[in-house]
């Protein structure tokens, strides 16, 4: 039996544009998913995911989402959870060279589902690392990231990027541009996260941006502008890491975050609750604030070294929960075995 954990993430810059080959800079944060895997003597997979807002979701199946369980939870949420775990198990079986290896898997998570904090990527990364380790196969973080991306790619019908899974596997701040993935030199940033209690439909939002981009040249230009902005932000992070993070760096990074949020809003992926939280953060003194993830609901991320933004968000009607999150310098890790 092996337990592994993997962090969630926020996007500092680049979500949605990364789908079209532009760079993105996600940062791992210390909100973690934990997965325990124990090999079985048969080919069955039993998953206990009571902490994933699935109202006691415990199900046994043999590796196919066609056999949908009868549980008291939204069908789409159950099927999505099954699909991610199915694909993680498929990648594990391929990695260990045994197509019939079964597992008992327990999933716990501090990361809200569908909120833009990389919950699915963290679960898949932790599951692959835990399951392979449980049968004696030691995959390095980069190999876990690659297999986790393949699992998400299948689960999301080809709409996944490498950003979430690579960030969760290796930790820290990372740069993703197509298949080019690497860690960045970056200081620890004063992240404050606001959560509206909801979740956007990632597939629908990605499809909406694709349709807009195909119909209007200005939308394609907006996507390219997000890429240019991300490259500027990447240079600022390196400078702040080399010189030491100061108010000037925070102001410059925050300004880019504000512009990025405006560009994402222009692409139609924000929501009233997200905009309200962004403005609450800015008015409280955050140097910048933006949505993080697919949008449509979920989370915003702000930069503020003081307590003012967290306090303001916690009192805002649009915000269900506000919290500070440290940069997770370590990615996937074994907690016990």
Q: Which residues are catalytic?
A: 164
Q: How far apart are CA 325 and CA 39, in angstroms?
A: 34
Q: Are strands 191-195 and 288-291 parallel, antiparallel or unpaired?
A: unpaired
Q: How far apart are CA 95 and CA 148, in angstroms?
A: 11
Among the listed residues 108, 105, 130, 128, the one whose alpha carbon sits nearest the alpha carbon of residue 119: 108
Q: How many CB atoms lie within 10 A of CB 285?
A: 13
CB 211 within 8 Å of CB 152: no
R_g over Cα of the chain: 19
DSSP 153-220: HHHTTT---SHHHHHHHH-SBEEEETTEEEE---PPP-EEEEE-S----HHHHHHHHHHHHHH-HHHH
Torsion of CA 116, 2, 108, 91, to 10 degrees: 40
CB 202 within 8 Å of CB 156: yes
Q: How far apart are CA 239 and CA 242, in angstroms?
A: 5
Query: How many alpha carbons fall within 13 Å on the CB side of residue 292?
Result: 32
Q: How far apart are CA 337 and CA 138, in angstroms?
A: 13
């Amino acid at each position: 039996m092996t337990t592994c954990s993997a962090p969630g993430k926020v996007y500092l810059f680049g979500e949605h544009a990364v789908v079209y080959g532009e760079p993105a800079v996600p940062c791992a944060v210390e909100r973690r998913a934990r997965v325990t895997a124990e090999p079985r003597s048969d080919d069955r997979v039993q998953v206990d995911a009571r902490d994933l807002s699935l109202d006691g979701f415990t199900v046994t199946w043999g590796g196919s989402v066609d056999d949908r369980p009868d549980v008291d939870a939204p069908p789409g949420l159950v099927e999505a959870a099954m699909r991610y775990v199915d694909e993680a198990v498929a990648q594990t079986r391929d990695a260990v060279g045994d197509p019939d290896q079964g597992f008992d898997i327990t999933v716990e998570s501090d990361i809200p589902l569908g909120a833009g904090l990389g919950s699915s990527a963290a679960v898949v990364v932790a599951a692959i690392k835990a399951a392979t380790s449980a049968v004696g196969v030691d995959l390095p973080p980069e190999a876990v990231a690659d297999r986790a991306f393949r699992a998400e790619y299948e689960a999301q019908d080809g709409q996944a990027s490498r950003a979430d899974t690579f960030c969760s596997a290796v930790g820290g701040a990372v740069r993703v541009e197509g298949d080019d993935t690497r860690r960045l030199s970056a200081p620890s940033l004063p992240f404050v996260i606001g959560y509206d209690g909801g979740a956007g439909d990632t597939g629908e939002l990605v499809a909406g941006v694709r349709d807009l981009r195909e119909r209007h040249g200005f939308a394609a230009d907006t996507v390219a502008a997000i890429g240019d902005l991300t490259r500027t932000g990447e240079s600022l992070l390196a400078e702040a890491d080399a010189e030491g993070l100061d108010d000037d760096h925070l102001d410059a990074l925050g300004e880019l975050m504000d512009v990025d949020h405006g560009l994402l809003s222009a692409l139609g992926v924000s929501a009233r609750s997200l905009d309200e939280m962004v403005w609450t953060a800015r008015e409280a003194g955050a140097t910048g604030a933006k949505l993080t993830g697919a949008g449509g609901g979920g989370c915003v991320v702000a930069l503020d070294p003081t307590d003012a933004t967290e306090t303001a968000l916690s009192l805002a009607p649009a915000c269900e929960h506000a919290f500070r999150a440290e940069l997770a310098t370590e990615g996937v890790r074994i907690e016990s075995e």
